[in-house]
């Protein structure tokens, strides 16, 4: 290349400068500060004394931490795989439709995704209201006892996971639809000639060819749901906050309600590493699953 | 394939179609129910049976929400901060994505790896230090304070980089031959070519920012600086019955985005798939 | 680093990204947590104040969500110098606030500037805002809980005394019998509407029932010592018994409780006096039956009712000194509202400022007059940093109250767990 490489470097630096400035300020710097804060007994604002790893070592003995850890795990279990399956099924259904009907049906499934979480909260808090919720009237029709969904620990997480799936499925549905459309029609035509049944066509063609999209959806969902806060915080209002706590909420509670910046940072750092480890593990797992899936095909 | 067999298949196919349509209607029912409830007087909302259509139609809750709360301010705050986040994120990411894709400079690999790594890092864990940072800068209760910590969207850079990568090298080489400056190449050749990507990414970032809850919730303590997503949960009538008025505020908060989506359905759909790195 | 950040902030401000507030003569930033009928009446008082102080003082008021959200915002904003100039505060929350250093003392000079003093308040109320013989707030009212009842339903079931009060108010057996009779009458869904879905709220009822046995939550810094645990268990027990017998609404959240009562589905309701305006307004609009409000029934040894006090406090804004003019304006706001709190009494509350409650107008007010004798039996929260609305104690208790009151958990187990967790704090 003829161009002077020094001027190219200069141009590059100018181009990346704004981004690096922002990233340094709101990402790298806070991350480092968080690590430093987590080994002090500082309040939210202001300095603190160095306390070593005390903030970490006390975590396993804290009831609320254990509850939060379990609830977060439970929520991930309840939302990631089931959410992906629901989205896939809906996408398969929508994919069969065409024209205006498809656009309409897709719009109905997708609409919740663009709503703010507080709107989603109001809608479902109302729909599932124990005394006046329309869902409870439906239970009455079938003589099923009403369920105080957001007031019992048994139902809280499943209900929030359900609402979350309702809210975010639209995103995954779109990804699956894009994946389904990318599968060449000729393959299905060939399968039809072979007289392959619906199930076999799905198992031998659709599922393996869709696997990259499925893996992508699973990854996005997992990273997203580990960071759950908004819905749980809103739905736990006036309920049993200590029983329905999740990790980000615990960080929030320690830092902003109890004014314990150092202890909150230790929880944040723990979550930080949990997310990274789980993401890496899942990435490896999905790669393995993808490979073995292809192996089956042969 | 026999005729009877084909008929059976069609029947199954038809029932799947019907099921899909039925589920779609059921799926959207809470939206309908929320809107209908918000149009009833409070004492009809709590009737012990289902009324799919209001007995008495009333806009009183909407009038209340529009006149007695600062919802107008919240709209402005939401629009301003979401637009700010979108413009800043997309522009800085585009410049950086271009550099990563087309230019050689020291630290390029490291920067790219850092961006990839930040995919996994949960920004929610940084709330404490974001709060301290923004407080020290004196920017709580300001648009800038709401915007700054929300500028971390690594996916935007990655999508840009992929698209710049996919532009044939000939364009660039021809321009370089003409002695066009790097900035000229970016703004006159690459940007117009990726206009669709820019629109799509802007739409997605805007939706994300409009819906953000946790950070705007922490960064604002004055009601007149709240975004609409936060405002409708933080300011309300705690006492008495207020289901319908709360729902009307929620409908007002959700309506603009819902309408925007229905108007630009195709674009939003493309934008979403694109943001996940799928070229739809 | 801080300086660099400041420069950055300055640059952004110069770009017009931050918003500044316009200044009038003296603007007092005001925060409250008052919604519903309370909120409407306080807004009226504020606009009256602004009209009376035209050109001198303007109140710029903000209403935030009651409870944890409000106190979280206060705490964090005081720490970063973003707190208001004056705010409403629950007296029960003052010990915690003082220990965190977020409140400014109301000095002797302040009191004399306001033209008020200890003699203008009931002893218990004054005591509630006093820590180590210093005052940290100006009491506005006391707000106990009361028993609301549907006169039409009770009278049809023959459960009203001649003076229009419900029967069976003097004993556990008597009151349970009244509830049972209401259930048997079949005219309503629930004899008693209780906020059983919200443990924070039920604390008020439960603490009242503990008070009826002279039970105490805290003695010498320890929770539920001696037979106090048994007394809590008794209190939970009677409420759980009503639930199990189908006499009380289950998993009911706050607005639902009010809705059950006003729609006639629940014949009685235990709730704060602040719901009085809801009833008055609906009754005036012709949407409500005949109703009344009385002191809580005596379930145990003697009458006792939980109460808290709304007061005004001045936050200690970190790194910001209040000007003398501003402070004078804030003092004027607090004393003016207190002295004009007769109107506040229409929100159901009992004004704290004695000259108001001693006035003939106040004494003629209904239904306040019916329940005002209970002021003699009021008990406040223990003075502890753990106590208070949305305080740590509230959180622990509410976690166990909800399952216990809805028949999921045995009262004895709940008390044991509460004890462990409280003493663990």
Residues of chain A with pLDDT > 70: what percent? 95
Is C4 within 8 Å of chain B by CB? no
Q: Which chains touch B (3 or more CB pairs under 8 A)?
A: A, C
Q: Answer whether residue A51 is part of any domain.
A: no
Is B74 within 8 Å of chain C by CB? no
Residue C16, token pair as written in the block: 């017009």
pLDDT at residue A296, as a whole number: 40
Work out the number of other CB atoms within 10 angstroms of the CB of residue C117: 12
Question: Residue C259: which of A43, A45, A132 has the nearest Cβ?
Answer: A132
Domain boundaries C24-140+309-363, CATH class: alpha beta
Q: Answer whether residue A237 is part of any domain.
A: yes
Contact C63 B239 (CB under 8 A): no
Is A280 within 8 Å of chain B by CB? yes
When pLDDT is cut at 50, 70 and 90, the band that residue B233 belongs to is: confident
For A108-157, write each residue's pLDDT tens digit. Answer: 999 999 999 999 999 999 999 888 889 999 999 998 888 888 888 889 99
Return residue ranges of chain C for CATH 3.40.190.10.
Answer: 24-140+309-363, 143-307+391-424
Q: How far apart (Å, rounded) are the C-alpha atoms in residues B19 and B40?
A: 31
pLDDT at residue C225, as a whole number: 87
For B112-136, write each residue's pLDDT tens digit. Answer: 988 888 877 778 889 999 999 999 9
Length of chain B: 280
DSSP-derived 3-state class of residue C66:
coil
Residue C388, token pair as written in the block: 């208070």
Topology, domain C143-307+391-424: D-Maltodextrin-Binding Protein; domain 2 (3.40.190)
Name the residue among C45, A111, A128 with its Cα closest to residue B28: A111
**pTM of the model as a whole:** 0.86
Q: How far apart (Å, rounded) are the C-alpha atoms in residues C159 and C178?
A: 7
State the average pLDDT over residues B48-67: 87
Q: How far apart (Å, rounded) are the C-alpha atoms in residues C237 and C401?
A: 11
* Residue recorded with tokens 């006035």: C359
Please give, rounded to a whole number of angstroms, the shortest distance from the CA of C411 to a CA of chain B: 29
pLDDT at residue B277, as a whole number: 66
Residues of A in contact with B96 (CB under 8 A): 15-16, 18-20
| Complex-level ipTM | 0.90
Contact B242 C5 (CB under 8 A): no
Is C73 within 8 Å of chain B by CB? yes
Q: Answer whether residue A10 is part of any domain.
A: no
DSSP-derived 3-state class of residue A95:
helix
Residues of chain B with pLDDT > 70: what percent? 93
Contact C262 B43 (CB under 8 A): yes
pLDDT at residue B278, as a whole number: 59
Name which residue leads in pLDDT, B141 or A289: B141
CATH of the domain at A173: 1.10.3720.10
* Residue recorded with tokens 């806009």: B59
Range of the domain at A130: 66-297
What's the Cα-to-Cα distance from C374 to each of A235, B121, C316, C330, C365, rounded to whole Å?
36, 57, 35, 32, 15
Region at A55 (left for phi over 0; alpha for psi -120 to 50; beta for the rest)? alpha
Residues of chain B with pLDDT > 90: what percent? 39
Which residues are C29's β-sheet partners?
A: C60
Residues of B in contact with C275 (CB under 8 A): 239-240
For C54-91, write each residue's pLDDT tens digit. Answer: 989 999 988 888 888 889 889 888 888 889 999 999 99
What's the Cα-to-Cα distance from C178 to each of A167, C164, C170, rounded to whole Å?
47, 14, 11
Domains of chain B: 70-235 (1.10.3720.10)
Q: Answer whether residue A39 is part of any domain.
A: no
DSSP-derived 3-state class of residue C251:
coil
* Residue recorded with tokens 């507080």: A118
When pLDDT is cut at 50, 70 and 90, the band that residue B7 belongs to is: low
Is C82 within 8 Å of chain B by CB? yes
Please give, rounded to a whole number of angstroms, the shortest distance from the CA of C68 to a CA of chain B: 11
Residues of C in contact with A259 (CB under 8 A): 75-76, 79, 100
State the average pLDDT over residues B153-173: 86
Name the residue among C335, C66, C54, C397 with its Cα closest to residue C206: C397
For C321-334, write each residue's pLDDT tens digit. Answer: 889 999 999 999 99
Provide φ and ψ at A92, rounded to 5°: -60, -40
Q: Answer whether residue A3 is part of any domain.
A: no
Residue A232, token pair as written in the block: 């749980």
Contact B240 C258 (CB under 8 A): yes
SS (H, E, C) chain B: CCHHHHHHHHHHHHHHHHHHHHHHHHHHHHHHHHHHHHCCCHHHHCCCCCCCCCCCCCCHHHHHHHHHCCHHHHHHHHHHHHHHHHHHHHHHHHHHHHHHHHCCCCCHHHHHHHHHHHCCCCHHHHHHHHHHHHHHCCCCCCHHHHHHHHCCCHHHHHHHHHHHHHCCHHHHHHHHHCCCCHHHHHHHHHHHHCHHHHHHHHHHHHHHHHHCCHHHHHHCCCHHHCCHHHHHHHCCCCCCCCHHHHHHHHHHHHHHHHHHHHHCHHHHHHHHHHHCCCCC
Question: Residue B238: which of C18, C35, C76 has the nearest Cβ?
Answer: C35
State the average pLDDT over residues A76-80: 95
Q: Answer whether residue A7 is part of any domain.
A: no
Is B129 within 8 Å of chain C by CB? no
Q: How far apart (Å, rounded) are the C-alpha atoms in residues C121 and C351?
A: 9
Is C111 within 8 Å of chain A by CB? no
When pLDDT is cut at 50, 70 and 90, the band that residue C21 belongs to is: very low
Q: Is the pLDDT of residue B104 over 70?
A: yes
């Amino acid at each position: 290349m003829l161009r002077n490489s020094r001027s190219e470097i200069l141009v590059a630096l100018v181009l990346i400068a704004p981004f690096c400035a922002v990233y340094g300020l709101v990402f790298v710097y806070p991350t480092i500060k968080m690590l430093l804060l987590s080994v002090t007994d500082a309040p939210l604002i202001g300095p603190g004394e160095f306390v070593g790893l005390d903030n970490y070592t006390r975590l396993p003995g804290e009831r609320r931490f254990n509850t939060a850890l379990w609830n977060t795990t439970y929520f991930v279990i309840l939302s990631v795989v089931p959410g992906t399956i629901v989205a896939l099924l809906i996408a398969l259904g929508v994919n069969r439709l065409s024209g205006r009907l498809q656009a309409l049906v897709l719009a109905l499934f997708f609409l919740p995704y663009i709503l703010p979480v507080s709107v989603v909260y109001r809608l479902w808090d109302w729909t599932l209201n124990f005394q006046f919720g329309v869902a409870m009237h439906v239970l009455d029709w079938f003589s099923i006892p009403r369920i105080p969904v957001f007031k019992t620990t048994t139902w809280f997480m499943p209900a929030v996971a359900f609402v979350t799936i309702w809210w975010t499925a639209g995103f995954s549905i779109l990804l699956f639809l894009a994946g389904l459309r990318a599968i060449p029609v000729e393959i299905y035509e060939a399968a039809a000639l072979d007289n392959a049944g619906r199930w076999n066509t799905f198992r031998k063609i659709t599922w393996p060819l869709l696997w990259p999209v499925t893996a992508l959806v699973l990854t996005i969902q997992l990273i997203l749901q580990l960071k759950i806060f908004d819905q749980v915080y809103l739905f736990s209002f006036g309920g049993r906050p200590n029983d329905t706590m999740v990790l980000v909420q615990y960080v929030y509670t320690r830092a902003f309600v109890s004014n314990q910046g150092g202890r909150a940072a230790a929880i944040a750092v723990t979550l930080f590493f949990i997310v990274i480890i789980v993401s890496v593990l899942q990435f490896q797992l999905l790669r393995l699953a993808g490979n073995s899936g292809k192996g089956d095909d042969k | 394939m026999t005729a009877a067999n084909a008929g059976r298949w069609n029947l199954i196919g038809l029932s799947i179609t019907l099921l899909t349509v039925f589920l779609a209607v059921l799926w959207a029912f809470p939206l309908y129910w929320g809107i209908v409830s918000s149009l009833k007087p409070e004492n009809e909302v709590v009737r012990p049976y289902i009324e799919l259509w209001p007995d008495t139609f009333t806009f009183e809750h909407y009038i209340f929400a529009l006149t007695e709360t600062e919802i107008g301010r919240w709209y402005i705050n939401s629009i301003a901060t979401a637009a700010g986040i979108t413009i800043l994120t997309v522009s800085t990411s585009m410049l950086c994505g271009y550099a990563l894709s087309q230019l050689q400079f020291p630290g390029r690999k490291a920067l790219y790896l850092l961006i990839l790594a930040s995919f996994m890092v949960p920004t929610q864990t940084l709330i404490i230090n974001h709060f301290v940072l923004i407080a020290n800068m004196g920017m709580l209760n300001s648009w800038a304070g709401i915007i700054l910590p929300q500028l971390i969207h690594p996916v935007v850079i990655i999508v840009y980089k992929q698209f710049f990568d996919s532009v044939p090298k000939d364009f660039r080489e021809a321009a370089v031959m003409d002695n066009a400056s790097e900035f000229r190449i970016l703004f006159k050749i690459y940007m117009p070519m990726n206009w669709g990507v820019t629109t799509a990414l802007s739409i997605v970032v805007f939706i994300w920012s409009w819906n953000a809850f946790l950070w705007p919730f922490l960064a604002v303590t004055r009601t007149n600086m709240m975004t609409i997503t936060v405002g409708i949960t933080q300011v309300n009538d705690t006492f008495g019955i207020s289901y319908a008025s709360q729902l009307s505020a929620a409908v007002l908060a959700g309506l603009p985005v819902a309408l925007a989506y229905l108007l630009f359905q195709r674009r939003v759909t493309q934008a979403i798939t694109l943001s996940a790195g799928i070229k739809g | 680093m801080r300086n660099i950040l400041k420069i950055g902030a300055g640059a952004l401000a110069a770009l017009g990204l931050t918003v500044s507030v316009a200044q009038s003569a003296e603007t007092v930033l005001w925060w409250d947590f008052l919604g519903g009928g309370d909120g409407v009446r306080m807004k009226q008082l504020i606009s009256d104040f602004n009209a009376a102080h035209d050109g001198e003082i303007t109140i710029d008021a903000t209403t935030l969500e009651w409870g944890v959200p409000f106190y979280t915002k206060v705490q964090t904003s005081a720490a970063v110098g973003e707190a208001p100039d004056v705010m409403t505060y629950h007296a029960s929350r003052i010990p915690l606030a003082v220990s965190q250093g977020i409140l400014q003392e109301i000095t002797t000079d302040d009191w004399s500037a306001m033209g008020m003093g200890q003699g203008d308040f009931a002893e218990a109320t004054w005591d509630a805002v006093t820590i180590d013989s210093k005052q940290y707030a100006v009491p506005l009212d006391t707000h106990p809980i009361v028993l609301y009842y549907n006169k039409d339903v009770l009278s049809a079931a023959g459960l009203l005394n001649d003076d229009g009060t419900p029967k069976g108010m003097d004993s556990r057996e008597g009151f349970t019998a009244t509830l049972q009779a209401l259930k048997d009458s079949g005219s309503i869904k629930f004899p008693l509407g209780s906020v059983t879905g919200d443990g924070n709220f039920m604390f008020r009822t439960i603490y009242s029932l503990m008070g009826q046995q002279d039970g105490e939550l805290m003695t010498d810094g320890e929770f539920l010592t001696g037979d106090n645990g048994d007394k809590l268990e008794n209190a939970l027990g009677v409420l759980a018994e009503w639930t199990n017998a189908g006499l009380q609404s289950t998993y009911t959240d706050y607005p639902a409780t009010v809705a059950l009562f006003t729609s006639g589905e629940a014949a009685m309701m235990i709730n704060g006096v602040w719901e009085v305006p809801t009833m008055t307004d609906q009754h005036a609009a012709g949407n409500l039956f005949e109703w009344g409000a009385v002191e809580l029934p005596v379930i145990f040894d003697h009458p006792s009712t939980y109460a808290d006090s709304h007061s005004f406090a001045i936050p200690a804004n970190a790194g910001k000194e209040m000007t003398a003019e501003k402070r004078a304006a804030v003092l004027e706001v607090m004393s003016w509202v207190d002295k004009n709190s007769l109107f506040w009494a229409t929100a159901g509350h009992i004004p704290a400022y004695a000259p108001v409650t001693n006035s003939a107008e106040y004494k003629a007010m209904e239904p306040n007059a019916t329940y005002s004798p209970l002021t003699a039996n009021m008990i406040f929260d223990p003075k502890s940093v753990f106590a208070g609305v949305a305080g740590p104690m509230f959180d622990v208790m509410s976690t166990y109250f909800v399952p216990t009151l809805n028949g999921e958990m045995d009262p004895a187990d709940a008390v044991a767990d509460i004890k462990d967790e409280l003493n663990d704090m």
